[in-house]
Structure 1
Amino acid sequence: MLAVGIAAALMAGEGARLAVVAVLAESFEPRKIQRALGLDPSSPELHFRLGLVDSYALDHLDPVEGVGELRRATELAPHVAGYWAALGSACDSIRDTACADTAFERALRLSPMTPRLHWMAGNHYLLNDRNKEGMAHFRRLLEVSPSYANSVFAASLSAVGDPAVILERVLPGPEKNPELTLSFINFLCASGKADFAREVWQTTAARTWALRLTWVKPYLDSLLELRRFRDAANVWKDLERMRIVERPRSSDSADILFNGDFERSPLNAGLDWHIKAERFLAVDFSDPRAYHGAGCLRVEFTVARNEDYEPVYQIVPVSPGGTYELSGYVRTEDVTSDSGPRLRVLDLDCPDCVNVSTETTTGTAPWHRVSVEFAAGARTEFLRVSGWRPRSRSFPSEIAGRFWIDAVTLKIISPFERSHAPARQS
């Protein structure tokens, strides 16, 4: 019985010791970790924690001691990849490249599918001017986890400065991973390298049709934001050629607008209609009371306000100097302001060259045609066609009610500049 009692006491004592170690080990306070190590000196986790504190805690910084603690953690638990990775980073901090090389190699050998380890290894090699090895790890990282794409592109561009090198060494090619290639194109636009992005797009569009509009839309949005309208139009043409985007049939064969009949919900991208979310405005395309076909645009001013509104717009390529007619069918219901909605066309590069609109419609009115004829400027290449309500400058100023648009067309009347007479409304 005495022996059993002693054993029980020893077990209870060991249990209490382990409980104290567990509590202390949860802390990253150096004194608590050191106390825990006094109770359990063979714990790799405790050496690991103390190594991190020594390596990175500003109030307890001792990088050399940190490397020693992390090395001890790997000796006690050589099969834990995270210990090796931490050792690699710590070795980099004291410029012990050989130690870091070995540590990252061991970490990846133990856990080759862990994205964070490839990220750490890639940065290690870039830090030590071994770009080829670093980008090889980044290439593998993107195969394992494409979510690292922007971080990889940024780190690589900072290291090598040449996006062509990244394209060659990091990306697998548009045939193997077109979505990743589009991510790179979007990154290039955001990094001020839209010219090279265009080259990558042209290669991608020539080599694969396995694309989706959702992948390309951010690139189109960036091009429009950067006012690179010609590039956006060329990308849109490529998408039409690949039948990723299909141009809806128009009720007028001469119409150059995209989806002017609203028979299909706008893609909110590229050269289709864009929908702007605005306060106190409801926009939909499902109202069955269309002038033509099954669809139309319906706008409701839900709260009476006196604001500028432009709920939808479209970018349209045109021929410089041509004479055009913008027309559509509209109807209203209980529109209160003297400044009602209308169709508008604006030269994006020279608003003073073309900035015209159809007559306004207020009150309650049935479907009727509105139009405006205008001459494009000698350098006009892209127009912005929109549904527009300008702010009123007289009473009653606040607008409420509902407005419908359908069968919107933009047609060229004459391909050559005929006159610069004022726009004519009808």
Structure 2
Amino acid sequence: MEYELRHSARKFWIAIAFLGLTTAYLGIVTVHYLAEYFSESSEESDLIRATRLDPGDAVSFHNIGRIELLARARPQMALPWLETATRLNPHMASYWVDLALARQAVGETALERQDLLYALEAAPRTPEIAWQAANLFLAQGSPDDAMNAFRLVIENDPPITSLAIETCWKVHPDVEFLLNNVIPSNADEMFLGFLRSRNQPAAATVWEKMYSLQQPISRPHLFEYIRDLVAHQQAAQAALVWRQAASMAGLSAYQPSPQNLLVNGDFSLEILDGGFDWMHQKTRGVTLALDPNETHSSARSLRIIFDGPGIEDAGIRQLVPVEPNTPYEFSAFYKAQEMDGAGGARFALQDLHRETSFFMSEDLQNADFWKKVSGSFVTGPETGLLVLRLARVPAGSPIRGKLWLDGLQLAPSDRRIAYDERKLQ
């Protein structure tokens, strides 16, 4: 009997203890639930309740600080809330950025800089944080700190990299400084793309660095750079870039030689439509294709089908760097079928920038065999870049028929070679 009483008493006290623990647990859960509920509110009064229920939760303190800073434009009132948030969670970079904003608004420059450095330390690989810090550093008048932050932005290659490069150039337009201190090697190609149409000498400096490091470059970016150099009449630099890009863009097979300045003159390679390879512009009434069934110099030729009026040229052309006052010889092979129309198609070589015509072939009329066409000319005193195209003469007149081209060559004439050899003797 006595044992049963003791056993019952023990069970009673265990139940009481369990009930107390359960009640305490439910109380804690309820407090946390209410704190979380209020912390998700946009009302400041609810957020204040959340801080009282859970004074260790940095989120509510931060949200109150943002309301005071941004919604109510009271940075001084925001400071204690934001300071508490960073103290409770110093690893949240956005808290430090907001605190820096408040510091800037009240003129606490030294503390603002320290907060921004803490933000970058908390998120060293987050470009969005680095972007905000960089712009705040600029507003503060700390360009060196800003450049360090912009480098973090560019290193991580986010969508805002191009905007970061543009901002850096506006702040410090010194290509050597930016290459050595701000622009990482993985962004040199983008830096080149930014400079190529804005500052040709600076772009050349970037290119020299890329070439010295043998950094790969995408063909589209290379073609754009070549196009800008040509537009600025820098034919020699464009030709140099093309040669140097042979290994950087996989263009070794697309290089001219002393025996033939034309690239891919036998159409054995795919047409790149850029740089110093063939470029094609879609032309109404003209169809182009590589044809493996009609061959002369390689395993295929270029087939051109004419069908219609309004044709001025075939839409296929190539830019060729040359020397001024220099004799050259041009030759090509063609076949033609069912050609109909006044005149015909002709090979034409002219100065790209001055439109001076140096060579115009005979009409490419019907020929059921590979017929050679050739001619010679001397470039002008200022000529540095030719364009080779297939012109329609007379322009715009209706023409129909099929034409195949192969074995195109352009080289300095033997007269120039003999003259150079005599000068060396």
* TMscore range, shorter length: 0.7 to 0.9
Between 276-285 and 93-102, the greater mean CA deviation after superposition: 276-285
| Match in the other structure for 2:383 | 380
Between 255-264 and 333-342, the greater mean CA deviation after superposition: 333-342
| Match in the other structure for 1:289 | 294
| 1:239 has 2:245 as partner | yes
| 1:349 has 2:353 as partner | yes
* Separation in 2, partners of 1:64, 1:400: 81
Mapping of 1:62-77 within 5 angstroms? Answer: 62-65=74-77, 70-77=82-89
Tell me: CA distance 1:322–1:90, structure 2 relative to 1, closer, same or farther (3 Å). same
| Counterpart residue identity of residue 136, structure 1 | N
RMSD: 4.2
Tell me: CA distance 1:150–1:280, structure 2 relative to 1, closer, same or farther (3 Å). farther
2:192 corresponds, among 169, 185, 192, to 185
CA contact (8 A) 2:342 2:394 kept: no
1:254 corresponds, among 256, 259, 265, to 259
- The SS at the match of 1:133 is helix
| 1:415 has 2:422 as partner | no
| Match in the other structure for 1:318 | 322
* Separation in 1, partners of 2:76, 2:340: 76
Tell me: CA distance 1:74–1:307, structure 2 relative to 1, closer, same or farther (3 Å). farther
- The SS at the match of 2:155 is helix
CA contact (8 A) 2:265 2:409 kept: yes
- The SS at the match of 1:145 is coil
TM-score (norm 1): 0.74
CA contact (8 A) 2:346 2:364 kept: yes
| Match in the other structure for 2:232 | 226
* Separation in 2, partners of 1:317, 1:75: 66
* Separation in 2, partners of 1:346, 1:300: 24
- The SS at the match of 1:239 is helix
| Counterpart residue identity of residue 384, structure 2 | E
1:83 corresponds, among 85, 90, 95, to 95
| Match in the other structure for 1:423 | none
Cα-to-partner distance string for 1:246-275 (whole Å, 9 max, x where unaligned): 24699x973321221111123344322233
| 1:37 has 2:42 as partner | no
| Match in the other structure for 2:406 | 406
Between 334-343 and 12-21, the greater mean CA deviation after superposition: 12-21
Between 117-126 and 271-280, the greater mean CA deviation after superposition: 271-280
Mapping of 1:96-135 within 5 angstroms? Answer: 96-135=108-147
Give 1:393 deviation, angstroms.
Answer: 4.3
| 1:161 has 2:173 as partner | yes
CA contact (8 A) 1:313 1:385 kept: yes
* Separation in 1, partners of 2:319, 2:196: 20
Cα-to-partner distance string for 1:274-328 (whole Å, 9 max, x where unaligned): 3335567554436442232113223456x85624455332221222223333332
TM-score (norm 2): 0.74
| Counterpart residue identity of residue 322, structure 1 | T
CA contact (8 A) 2:350 2:387 kept: yes
CA contact (8 A) 1:307 1:390 kept: no
- The SS at the match of 1:374 is strand
Tell me: CA distance 1:116–1:313, structure 2 relative to 1, closer, same or farther (3 Å). same
- The SS at the match of 1:137 is helix
- The SS at the match of 1:407 is strand
Tell me: CA distance 1:74–1:193, structure 2 relative to 1, closer, same or farther (3 Å). same
| Match in the other structure for 1:208 | 213
* Separation in 2, partners of 1:65, 1:349: 66
Give 1:213 deviation, angstroms.
Answer: 5.4
Give 1:157 deviation, angstroms.
Answer: 1.8
- The SS at the match of 2:194 is helix
Cα-to-partner distance string for 1:369-405 (whole Å, 9 max, x where unaligned): 33454332122121111234478444xx3x5665432
Between 68-77 and 114-123, the greater mean CA deviation after superposition: 68-77
- The SS at the match of 2:380 is coil
CA contact (8 A) 1:260 1:407 kept: yes
Identity %: 23
- The SS at the match of 1:40 is helix
| Counterpart residue identity of residue 180, structure 2 | E
Tell me: CA distance 1:181–1:320, structure 2 relative to 1, closer, same or farther (3 Å). same
Per residue, is there more helix in 1 or in 2?
Answer: 2
Cα-to-partner distance string for 1:56-112 (whole Å, 9 max, x where unaligned): 56xx54454555554454345433222222333443455432332232222222222
Give 1:338 deviation, angstroms.
Answer: 4.2
* Separation in 2, partners of 1:95, 1:355: 70
- The SS at the match of 1:368 is strand
| Counterpart residue identity of residue 40, structure 1 | A
| Counterpart residue identity of residue 412, structure 1 | P
* Separation in 2, partners of 1:119, 1:292: 57
| Counterpart residue identity of residue 175, structure 2 | P
| Match in the other structure for 2:9 | none
Residue ranges of structure 1 left out of the alignment (5+ in a row): 26-31, 417-426
CA contact (8 A) 2:130 2:152 kept: yes
Tell me: CA distance 1:281–1:102, structure 2 relative to 1, closer, same or farther (3 Å). farther
* Separation in 1, partners of 2:380, 2:264: 25
| Counterpart residue identity of residue 204, structure 2 | R
CA contact (8 A) 1:213 1:244 kept: no
| Match in the other structure for 2:162 | 150
* Separation in 2, partners of 1:237, 1:46: 61
Number of aligned residue pairs: 392
Residue ranges of structure 2 left out of the alignment (5+ in a row): 1-18, 418-425
Between 41-50 and 194-203, the greater mean CA deviation after superposition: 41-50
Tell me: CA distance 1:139–1:390, structure 2 relative to 1, closer, same or farther (3 Å). farther
| Higher Cα Rg, which structure | 2
- The SS at the match of 1:135 is helix
